[in-house]
Amino acid sequence: MIAQTAEVRVPVPFAGPGAGTAPLTWGQKAILEDMRETGWTHNVSGAHPVPAGVTVEQMAAELADLLARHPALRMRLGTDDRGGPCQVVSAAGETVLDVVDVPDDADPADVATFAYQLGHARLLAPYDLYRDWSVRMAVVRHRGAPVHRVLTFDHLVVDGTATSLLLADLGLVGPAVRRGHDPRTVQILDLGRREETPPLRRVSDRAVRHWASHLRSVPPLTFGPLRPGDGRQGHRYWHGRFSSPAAYLAVRAVARRTRTDTSRVLLAVIAVAIGRATGVSPLTAKLIVGNRFRPGFAEAIAPLSQNGVLTVDTADTTVDEVVSRARRASMTAGMYAYYDPTQLAETEARLDAERGYPARVSCRINDRRVTTRAAADDHARDEPVTADTFRRRAAETFLVWDGPLDHLPEQAFITVEDHPGTVHLQVIFDFASFTEAQAERLLRGVEEVAVEAALDAAAPTRVTPGSVGG
């Protein structure tokens, strides 16, 4: 591994249009609330190889150009007249490009690992949201040449789609990510202002009424009361990874048969796996929705993802029927996932008082695939799969626990990641709510449910409400 490095900070001045001040957007309010609840930075960060011949000066110019073109990247928090946070976009300023030199005798594979680790470190490094610029760039230089670029974005200005659009601007992802330019594309300050107008306040009103319809009768926590105990290896919150190529083939087969997309099938499969492992049905969950279908949002550099809410009953039926229910429920959740989080919080407090106890939806599901989703949904030329196919691919399934966390606002947080050819889940569990056996049964159940449904259109869910899997 690389023990010694030297770092140079190259000043990068920039200037661009679109300066001004505006209220926080609804997406920014949602991210700030997540930051408060979790204590996590929620940065977006990663390392990318640099083509041969590219110089540090060119990369500094690319950073300045990126800041010039996108006002959101010149956004920092300010304080409004009432003492609360607002967004401030600057017309000009100066940032730095960090150039990290590694020893000439370092192995290129170790240099790549070092760049990855630097990206991970910056993922976890906190921003001063009132002073720091929203994008950071570092260059790893080996034997006098830039070999890796590390980009980090503050989640207050990007979501997954916005990140992909910015990477496309830099030529770091394929052109398929880019859409045709939409002249209606909204800038981040304009978005904050629009969300204060009567038409969008009415949009928020309708969305919050939808949330209220799901929250009136929910239990205090989705998976029941917390159980005292030692957790896993003495830690309460754990994160891990589950990957299943067999589930990927099965989900595609079910999507083809039911004429829907893999996101809806995955939602249904996860809901059934949860029901089998925990006995929770109907499942009320938060579903992260991109909101990119709205006019002017497709190419916007802004955090537009917000939680939607849905309820899916998985008991005493078939997996195909749950796919149908999940499709309807997720479409409705997507229609009502754009709202003012402050208004929702007020409604939640009112419902807690009416209900007589505080309650929250403590299961969150996020399909954040961007680059691999289209390929997963393109199943027109798929060959029929057999039980032997699934048995062979099941040998590649893995589940690993990566380590403990300090805090988790949900009892379970399941994310579908952008990995080709597999269903790859990043998961976080509260082991005061799940036994380790339940958590593993839930994750392996994703493959089990998907394969059963792929092989049999009448496959039953085998979910009995109130039972507990082990």
Q: What is the mean pLDDT of each run of 10 residues along the chain (470 residues)?
A: 81 97 97 90 93 96 97 97 96 97 93 94 92 96 96 95 92 62 89 97 98 95 87 87 96 95 97 97 96 94 96 97 98 97 97 96 93 78 85 95 89 94 96 94 98 97 76
Q: ω before 245 within 30° of 0 (cis)?
A: no
Cα angle value 397/403/407 (rounded, 5°): 120
Give 225's contacts (C-beta < 8 A, 6+ positions apart): none
What is the CB neighbour count within 10 angstroms for residue 45?
20
Cα angle value 44/49/55 (rounded, 5°): 110
What pLDDT, on a 0 to 100 scale, did the predictor assign at position 179? 53
What pLDDT, on a 0 to 100 scale, did the predictor assign at position 183? 82
What pLDDT, on a 0 to 100 scale, did the predictor assign at position 469? 47
Residue with tokens 């996590």: 40
Could you give the CA distance from residue 62 to residue 56 in angstroms, rounded to a whole number? 10
- Burial of 224: CB neighbours in 10 Å, binned 0-12, 13-18, 19+: middle
Q: What tokens appear for 378 in the block?
A: 């393109």
Could you give the CA distance from residue 247 to residue 241 in angstroms, rounded to a whole number? 14
What pLDDT, on a 0 to 100 scale, did the predictor assign at position 180? 59
On whether the CB atoms of residues 152 and 122 are closer than 8 A, the answer is: yes
Beta bridge partners of residue 283, listed in sequence order? 312
Q: What's the pTM value of the predicted model, to 2 decimals? A: 0.92
On whether the CB atoms of residues 372 and 420 are closer than 8 A, the answer is: yes
Q: What tokens appear for 364 in the block?
A: 């969150």
What pLDDT, on a 0 to 100 scale, did the predictor assign at position 364? 97
Task: Read off the amino acid at residue 442.
Answer: L
Given the DSSP bridges, would you call strands 135-142 and 92-102 parallel, antiparallel or unpaired? parallel
